[in-house]
Amino acid sequence: MSRSEQFLQDFLNYLRIERNLARNTQQSYLDDLSNFWIFLAEKKINRPDKVDHQVLIDYARTLKQRGLAETSVARHFSSLRAYYKFLVMEGHLETDPTQFLDSPKLPASLPKILNFEDVELLLDAINTDTHLGVRDRAMFELMYAAGMRVSEVCNLTLEQLLLDEDLILIRGKGNKERVVPLGGEAKRWLLEYIEHSRPGLEKGYFNEGILFLNNKGRPLQRKGIWFILKKLAESVGLNKPVSPHTFRHSFATHLLEGGADLRIVQEMLGHVDISTTQIYTHLDSTYLKEVHSSFHPRARRK
């Protein structure tokens, strides 16, 4: 194994063990760095310490010539920064060539959300006459009630449900835990699913206590949740982009629109940095006008 290969292996171990990143995230780093090694090989560069700022500028130009979106270029830069920061931190390099590397300036994109009527439309359209239908109703009620990531839903176990206390224990990124309240509807459908439908899906397979199972008795995967939601949106003619994360966005936005404190929402979402949560403060102008006219002492004067 070459020195560069050993550095890469050490970096991947760092991502897996110390940062505890998800496997998909680790793979994204590896894919980005593999593209960079291919570029370096074409330049006859075989060691990370031979990379300087000009090499990085040439690489950025190559990415753009390949037609990559600004978001993809920014992600490649982020992977390179993380890698070189690791090499400096471990003493393999003295200087970080990426420290002055400018990422593309990305336009601020607001999260796609559903209004409350859209959420109700989707939930009420689920046919709960079957075990799978009850599962889907319980699952999407929970996602909207607790603002969960799709990966958190896939890995959720029965022991994480604190139904007697109307709470749920969520294990998020980096295996960090948070406790989030459950609403009445989510609790009702979870009880219905656990007591009457989940036993009919188990089929005798060992499923490690995973809450949501597929029709074969195995843990439901993220692709399966995407597919179910896509078909559900099509069935009601909802002409909006809908994904499992849309429920999380909607959860946060609706709480803030209802007057919830930003830091409380941050805690329930499991965000480390409050600036990540602040994106949900994009309240539409109609709502702002409504609040202003209702509460500002001079707004009601004609």
pLDDT band at 93 (very low <50, low <70, confident <90, very high): confident
**pLDDT for the residue numbered 111:** 64
Q: Is the pLDDT of residue 100 over 60?
A: yes
Mean predicted confidence (pLDDT) in 66-77: 83
CA 71 to chain CA mean position, Å: 16
Instruction: Give the DSSP H or E segment for 208.
Output: none
164 in Cβ contact with 98 (< 8 Å) = no
Q: What is the pLDDT of residues 131-189, one digit of tens each?
A: 999 999 999 999 998 888 898 999 999 999 999 998 999 988 777 888 888 888 999 99
pLDDT band at 298 (very low <50, low <70, confident <90, very high): low
Q: Is the pLDDT of residue 121 over 80?
A: yes
Q: Return the amino acid letter for 151.
A: S
CA 274 to chain CA mean position, Å: 16
DSSP string, 101-140: PPPP-PPP-PPP---HHHHHHHHHTS-TTSHHHHHHHHHH
Burial of 133 (0-12, 13-18, 19+ CB in 10 A): middle
Give the whole-angstrom CA distance, residue 146 versus residue 214.
21
Question: What share of the chain has pLDDT > 70, as a percent?
Answer: 86
Q: What is the pLDDT of residues 198-252, one digit of tens each?
A: 999 988 777 789 999 999 999 999 899 999 999 999 999 988 888 888 888 888 8
Instruction: Give the DSSP H or E segment for 252.
Output: helix 244-257
User: CATH class for domain 3-89?
Assistant: mainly alpha
115 in Cβ contact with 257 (< 8 Å) = no
The residue with greater pLDDT, 30 or 262, is 30
The radius of gyration of the chain from alpha carbons, rounded to an integer in Å, stands at 23
Q: Which CATH architecture has domain 116-289?
A: Orthogonal Bundle (1.10)
168 in Cβ contact with 180 (< 8 Å) = yes
**pLDDT for the residue numbered 141:** 94
**pLDDT for the residue numbered 292:** 53
The SS3 call for residue 48 is helix
Which residues are known catalytic residues?
149, 173, 245, 248, 271, 280
Closest CA to 217 of 132, 127, 120: 132
**pLDDT for the residue numbered 286:** 44
Tokens of residue 159, six digits: 């022991």
pLDDT band at 294 (very low <50, low <70, confident <90, very high): low
Give the whole-angstrom CA distance, residue 258 versus residue 280.
12
User: Which regions of the chain carry the CATH code 1.10.150.130?
Assistant: 3-89
Tokens of residue 169, six digits: 């224990």
Mean predicted confidence (pLDDT) in 31-46: 90
Mean predicted confidence (pLDDT) in 42-61: 87
Instruction: Give the DSSP H or E segment for 292.
Output: helix 285-295
Tokens of residue 99, six digits: 């420290």
Number of other CB atoms surrounding residue 264 within 10 Å: 12
Give the whole-angstrom CA distance, residue 138 versus residue 163.
13
**pLDDT for the residue numbered 219:** 92
Q: What residues form DSSP beta bridges with 168?
A: 161, 180
150 in Cβ contact with 124 (< 8 Å) = no
Number of other CB atoms surrounding residue 155 within 10 Å: 18
Q: What is the pLDDT of residues 244-293, one digit of tens each?
A: 888 888 888 888 777 878 888 888 887 776 666 666 665 444 444 554 56
The residue with greater pLDDT, 11 or 21, is 11
Closest CA to 80 of 109, 56, 49: 56
User: Which regions of the chain carry the CATH code 1.10.443.10?
Assistant: 116-289
Tokens of residue 8, six digits: 């890469």
User: Which of 107-116, 117-126, 221-230, 245-254 bottoms out in mean pLDDT, i.e. has the lowest?
Assistant: 107-116
